[in-house]
C-alpha cells in the first residue's frame, strides 16, 4: 500500500525539495518517520531561525524550499521571519503539523484552531486539506503556488494521522507534474516602452530586488549603458541588482516620498524595474514625482502594480522584458555618466572603530564573489558606499525590516551557495533575535563569517528617536552583551577585534578556514 507519507516524499523529491528546515514537535514526528537517506534535515532551535534559514536558502538558490513547523505555536514563532519572506517573494513551502483529525474540534492540546487563517496575510495560499487523501494534491499545489510569479510563501496544515493513510489512486501523476509561466510583454507593449524611453530627455533607472532575484542584473547594466542612464537601487533595498562600482550607479534611494523626488528631480522619466513604487519608511511627505516627470513600472507582482500611487505599470516577466528593451531601444548619444568618487577613509581617532573602517577592511580582504547578509540597520548607508558588489546574489537584507533575519539567513545562504563565502554583518541589537542559528552553523559546520558590530544600542532607533523628537524613550540600549561567550557556548569559534589591525587578522584567518567564526567588533554609533 502506498501511503500519503511515501507519496508526499515522492512529490518533494521530484521537485528537488530534499533539504528540510525544521524544529519538530510531536505533531511532526509521524511525517519524519523513516526519514529518507537522500533528504537532508536542517535543525534550528527556534522557529524564527528555522524560517530565516529557509528564507536565505530559497533566496540564494532561487528554488522553492521546504519548512516544517510545529502546529500553531511553532507557526507563531516563525511569523516575524515570515514577514521578510513575504516581502522578498521567497518561495517557502511551509507545513505545520496538526492534531489528529478527531481531536481538532475539541481543541485538544496542540490543535491548530482555524489553521489556514493563522499565517494570513503573509502567505500566497493557506490550506488544511479536507481529507487525508487530498494531502498529496495540496502539497503539490503548494509547491507550484510558491514557485509561480510573484513567488512567495505558502502554508499547509496537515493532521498527523493523515501520513499513515492510504494514498488515493492516481497520486503518481502529482510527482510528474510541471507548471510553467510565460510572462513576456507583447510586441506592442515593448515597443511602447522603448519609444517612451528613447524619447526621454534624461531617463533614470530604479532597480529592485526582483531584478537580482531573476538574475537580470546584466540586462539592467546593458540597458543603462545603451541609454546612458544613471541607475539607483529602490529604497529599503533587500538585494543588490546593479554593480556598485559601475559608472552609472548612484546608490540607494531614501525611503521617503520627499527624499525620492529630491534625488530624481533632474529626470523626466523614471523606469522602475522589479520593485514596488515605492517601499517608503520614514514619514517625509511631498510630491510623489518631480515636476514634469513620468514613471514607468515593470513588475512581476500584480499587487505592486495595483497599489502604486503613481505611474504606468506593466506586469510581466522581468528578465524577458528587460532583454526585449535592451534589443529595442535606440542607443542614446548622451555622454556616459561619470562614476561617483569613492568616499575618503575615516580617520582613526584611537577610540572605538568606525563602522566605515570595518567595511573598508572587509572590501579589501573579502573574495570578489563574497555574499553579504546584512542586518546592521544603522550602518546601511556606510555599507553601500564602501562595499563593492559585482555579481548577482551578493547581498541580502530583511525585506520587511523584521529583525532576526541576518544570522539565520546567512546560514541558509551559505548552505545554498557552498562555492561562495558568506559574510554576515549583524548589529548587536539584531543578533539576539536569531542567535540560535549559531548552533546550527556549528552543528552542520557551515562556514559563515559572522561579524557583530557592537555599539551597545539600537543604532537605527537612536536615529529615529532624534527624527521623531523622542530622544528620552526608554529601552534603546543593550549593554552587557558578550557575543564571544555566547558564540562559544553554541560551539562557534569567536574572537573580539578592537582595532583595525586586529580585525584584519581575525577576518583573514576566518576566510582562510572552513568553519563558522564570529568576530565581535566594538564600534561607534553612526546614523543610517
418 and 509 together in one domain: yes
First-to-last alpha carbon distance for the chain, in angstroms, is 60
In a domain, 350, yes or no: no
516 and 474 together in one domain: yes
pLDDT exceeds 60 at position 464:
no
27 and 79 together in one domain: yes
Listed in sequence order, the residues at least 6 apart from 301 whose beta carbon sits closer than 8 Å to its beta carbon are: 89, 149, 150, 210, 276, 315
153 and 225 together in one domain: no
pLDDT in tens, 498-524: 999 999 999 999 999 999 999 999 998
463 pLDDT band, cuts 50/70/90, is low
In a domain, 164, yes or no: yes
98 and 149 together in one domain: yes
Contact indicator for 183, 316 with CB cutoff of 8 Å = yes
Q: Using CA of residue 241, residue 244, residue 245, residue 248, what is the dihedral sign? A: positive
372 and 465 together in one domain: yes
**Rounded to two decimals, what is the model's pTM?**
0.96
42 and 145 together in one domain: yes
pLDDT in tens, 11-28: 999 999 999 999 999 999
149 and 169 together in one domain: yes
pLDDT in tens, 349-376: 878 999 999 999 999 999 999 999 999 9
Question: Measured between alpha carbons, how far is 149 from 172 in angstroms, rounded to an integer?
Answer: 26
More reliable by pLDDT, 282 or 496:
496
Query: Could you list the residue range(s) of the whole structural domain that residue 244 is in?
Result: 187-328
Of 156, 153, 151, 152, the residue nearest 140 (C-alpha) = 156
Question: Measured between alpha carbons, how far is 47 from 65 in angstroms, rounded to an integer?
Answer: 15
Of 121, 318, 134, the residue nearest 239 (C-alpha) = 318
194 and 228 together in one domain: yes
pLDDT in tens, 315-350: 999 999 999 999 999 999 999 999 999 998 888 787
Nearest 5°: the CA angle 125, 42, 214 is: 50
In a domain, 342, yes or no: no
Phi, psi of 508 (to 5 degrees): -65, -40
Per-position b or e across 49-84, b if 16+ CB within 10 A of its CB? bbbbbbbbbbbbbebbbbbbbbbbebbebbebbbbb
- The domain that holds 124 is classified in CATH as 3.40.50.970
Q: How many domains does the chain have?
A: 3
Active site residues: 25-26, 28, 47, 70, 281, 401
How many CA atoms does the CB half-sphere of 1 hold within 13 Å? 9
In a domain, 527, yes or no: no
Q: How many CB atoms lie within 10 A of CB 526?
A: 18
404 and 478 together in one domain: yes
- The domain that holds 252 is classified in CATH as 3.40.50.1220
212 and 161 together in one domain: no
42 and 142 together in one domain: yes
In a domain, 439, yes or no: yes
pLDDT at res. 458: 66
Task: Quote the strand ranges of 99-162, DSSP E.
Answer: 125-127, 154-159
Strand partners, 97: 158
pLDDT at res. 337: 95
In a domain, 158, yes or no: yes
In a domain, 263, yes or no: yes
Amino acid at each position: 500500500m502506498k501511503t500519503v507519507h511515501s507519496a508526499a516524499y515522492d512529490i518533494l523529491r521530484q521537485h528537488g525539495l530534499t533539504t528540510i528546515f525544521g524544529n519538530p514537535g510531536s505533531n511532526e514526528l509521524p511525517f519524519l518517520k523513516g526519514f529518507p537517506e537522500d533528504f537532508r534535515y536542517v535543525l534550528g532551535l527556534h522557529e524564527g531561525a528555522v524560517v530565516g534559514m529557509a528564507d536565505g536558502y530559497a533566496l540564494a538558490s532561487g528554488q522553492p524550499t521546504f519548512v516544517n513547523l510545529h502546529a500553531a505555536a511553532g507557526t507563531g514563532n516563525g511569523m516575524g521571519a515570515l514577514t521578510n519572506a513575504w516581502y522578498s517573494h521567497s518561495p517557502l513551502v511551509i507545513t505545520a503539523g496538526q492534531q489528529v483529525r478527531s481531536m481538532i474540534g475539541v481543541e485538544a492540546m496542540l490543535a491548530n484552531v482555524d489553521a489556514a487563517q493563522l499565517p494570513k496575510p503573509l502567505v500566497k495560499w493557506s490550506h488544511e486539506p479536507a481529507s487525508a487523501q487530498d494531502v498529496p494534491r495540496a502539497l503539490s499545489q503548494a509547491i507550484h503556488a510558491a514557485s509561480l510569479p510573484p513567488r512567495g510563501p505558502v502554508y499547509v496544515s496537515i493532521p498527523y494521522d493523515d501520513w499513515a493513510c492510504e494514498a488515493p489512486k492516481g497520486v503518481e501523476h502529482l510527482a510528474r507534474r510541471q507548471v510553467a509561466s510565460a510572462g513576456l510583454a507583447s510586441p506592442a507593449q515593448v515597443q511602447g516602452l522603448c519609444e517612451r524611453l528613447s524619447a526621454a530627455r534624461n531617463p533614470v533607472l530604479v532597480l529592485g530586488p526582483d531584478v537580482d532575484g531573476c538574475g537580470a542584473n546584466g540586462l539592467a547594466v546593458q540597458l543603462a549603458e545603451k541609454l546612458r542612464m544613471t541607475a539607483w537601487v529602490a529604497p529599503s533595498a533587500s538585494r543588490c541588482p546593479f554593480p556598485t562600482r559601475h559608472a552609472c550607479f548612484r546608490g540607494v534611494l531614501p525611503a521617503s516620498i520627499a527624499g525620492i523626488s529630491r534625488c530624481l528631480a533632474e529626470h523626466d522619466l523614471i523606469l522602475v524595474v522589479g520593485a514596488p513604487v515605492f517601499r517608503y519608511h520614514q514619514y517625509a511627505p511631498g510630491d510623489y514625482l518631480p515636476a514634469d516627470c513620468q514613471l514607468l513600472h515593470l513588475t512581476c507582482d500584480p499587487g505592486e502594480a495595483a497599489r502604486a500611487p503613481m505611474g504606468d505599470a506593466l506586469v510581466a516577466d522581468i528578465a524577458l522584458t528587460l532583454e526585449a528593451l535592451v534589443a529595442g531601444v535606440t542607443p542614446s548619444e548622451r555622454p556616459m555618466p561619470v562614476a561617483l568618487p569613492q568616499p575618503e577613509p575615516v580617520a582613526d581617532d584611537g577610540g572605538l572603530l568606525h563602522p566605515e573602517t570595518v567595511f573598508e577592511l572587509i572590501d579589501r580582504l573579502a573574495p570578489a564573489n563574497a555574499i553579504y547578509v546584512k542586518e546592521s540597520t544603522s550602518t546601511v548607508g556606510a555599507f553601500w558606499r564602501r562595499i563593492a558588489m559585482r555579481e548577482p546574489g551578493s547581498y541580502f537584507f530583511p525585506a520587511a525590516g523584521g529583525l532576526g533575519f541576518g544570522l539565520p539567513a546567512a546560514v541558509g545562504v551559505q548552505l545554498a551557495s557552498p562555492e561562495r563565502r558568506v559574510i554576515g554583518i549583524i548589529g548587536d541589537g539584531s543578533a539576539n533575535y536569531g542567535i540560535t542559528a549559531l548552533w546550527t552553523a556549528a552543528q552542520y559546520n557551515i562556514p559563515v563569517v559572522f561579524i557583530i558590530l557592537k555599539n551597545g544600542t539600537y543604532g537605527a532607533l537612536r536615529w529615529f528617536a532624534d527624527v521623531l523628537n523622542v530622544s528620552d524613550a526608554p529601552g534603546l540600549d543593550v549593554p552587557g552583551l558578550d557575543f564571544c561567550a555566547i558564540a562559544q557556548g553554541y560551539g562557534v569559534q569567536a574572537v573580539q577585534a578592537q582595532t583595525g589591525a586586529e580585525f584584519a587578522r581575525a577576518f583573514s584567518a576566518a576566510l582562510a578556514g572552513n568553519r563558522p567564526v564570529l568576530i565581535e567588533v566594538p564600534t561607534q554609533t553612526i546614523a543610517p
